Chain A
C-alpha cells in the first residue's frame, strides 16, 4: 500500500518567516495530493491540493510543489502569521480515494 513520510515533525518559525514542509510517497499510481490543517481540537480542513498533472499550485501565501519523478511534494507558507500555528498533514490517494496521511507537522509561529 501507499506510505507517506512527512518532515519535519515540528517546526518553529518567527512571524513573517517562511515555512516549508516536505513529504514523500511510495505509490507511483497516486494522483491527488491534498494538504490539511488541523487546529487543536478541530477537524482537519483542506488548505490546498495538487494533482499529478501539475507541478506547482499557489493560493495567496500558500504554495505546493510536486515532483512526480522523485515522488515528493512540499508545502510552502510565506509571511507566516500566528494563526498559521497548527498541525499540517500531507496526504496521497490510493484506491477508492483513501487518503494516506503523513505523520503531521506541528507548526509554531512565534510573534
Chain B
C-alpha cells in the first residue's frame, strides 16, 4: 500500500522517559512534517523537513527533535517527557507540483499518553 505510516499507534510512558515515534512514507514526497493534536482537537505544526531544510515551529520545546535517516523517513524523538506532551501526533508528507506545495497526506496518528 502506498501511504504514510507511523508506529506505534499507541504509546503509554512515564514522565521523564525518552521516546521515539517512527514515520515512513512511500509516496516519493519531498517534504515531511510532524503535527500535534491536543485534547481540544487543535492541530499544530511542529516541524517541516525536506532534504535541504528543517523549519521548526518556534513554540516547540527543544525536547522534541526530528531525525531523518533518509528522504522517506522522519522520526520524532522526545526527551524528558512531560504530562503536557500527551496528545495525538501526526506525521504527514506532501509533494511539490512545479514548485507549488500541494496536499499533505497524514499518517494514522500516534496517541501518546504520559503518566
Contacts and interface: CB of A to CB of B under 8 A. Distances in A.
Interface of A: 1, 32, 34, 38, 42-46, 49, 51, 87, 89, 93, 95-101, 103-104
Interface stretch (B11-19, B61-69, B100-108): B100-108
What class of interface size applies to chain B in its complex with A?
20 to 34
Contacts of B44: 101
A103 B38 CA distance: 11
A97 B104 contact: yes
Contacts of A49: 102-103
Contacts of B45: 98-101
Nearest to A41: B109
Interface of A is mostly: strand
B101 A93 contact: yes
Contacts of A98: 33, 45, 48, 55, 57
A100 B44 CA distance: 7
A100 B33 CA distance: 12
Given A87-B41, A96-B53, A96-B55, A43 B104 contact: no
Interface string B77-111: 00000000000001000100000111110111100
A44 B90 contact: yes
B108 A43 contact: yes
B87 to A, nearest CB: 14
Given A43-B90, A44-B90, A104-B42, A99 B104 contact: yes
A70 B10 CA distance: 42
Given A1-B58, A46-B103, 13 more contacts: A43-B106, A44-B90, A46-B104, A49-B102, A87-B41, A95-B55, A96-B48, A96-B53, A96-B55, A97-B31, A98-B45, A101-B43, A101-B44
Nearest to B30: A97
A32 B100 CA distance: 9
Contacts of A96: 31, 48, 50, 53, 55
A97 B97 CA distance: 12
A95 B31 CA distance: 12
Contacts of B94: 97
Contacts of B103: 34, 46, 49
